[in-house]
Amino acid sequence: MGGGTSGVNAARMAAGLGADVTILDVDLERLRYLDLSIISANTLYSSEANLLEMMPECDLLIGAVLLPGAKAAEINHSPDAAKNEAGQCARGYFN
């Protein structure tokens, strides 16, 4: 999950339900803050390598993107998503 408003709210809900949550973000200060404020969640620097490493193990992947003034985000159906086993899914939430 991303470390923005939508991602953090989804992470808090999932962690509250007992899920193993990892928040990925490129802002190190934001990751430090989230480490302290959501103790039950893991944080990790958002990079393609880290994301590809985590994808086969995750049951649900939530991405939330808001870029003011930019074109609306599109879901990218990559071959990497096919590496997930049956029963796993990836979900995109775009603002």
The torsion region of residue 64 among left (phi > 0), alpha (psi -120 to 50) and beta comes to beta
Q: Judge whether 47 and 68 are in contact, CB under 8 Å.
A: no
Mean pLDDT across 27-48: 91
Query: What are the tokens at 3?
Result: 């470390």
Per-residue CA distances from 8 to 14, 82, 95 (Å): 10, 26, 14
Q: What is the pLDDT of residue 94?
A: 40
Gap between the Cα atoms of 48 and 39, Å rounded: 25
* pLDDT, mean over the chain: 77
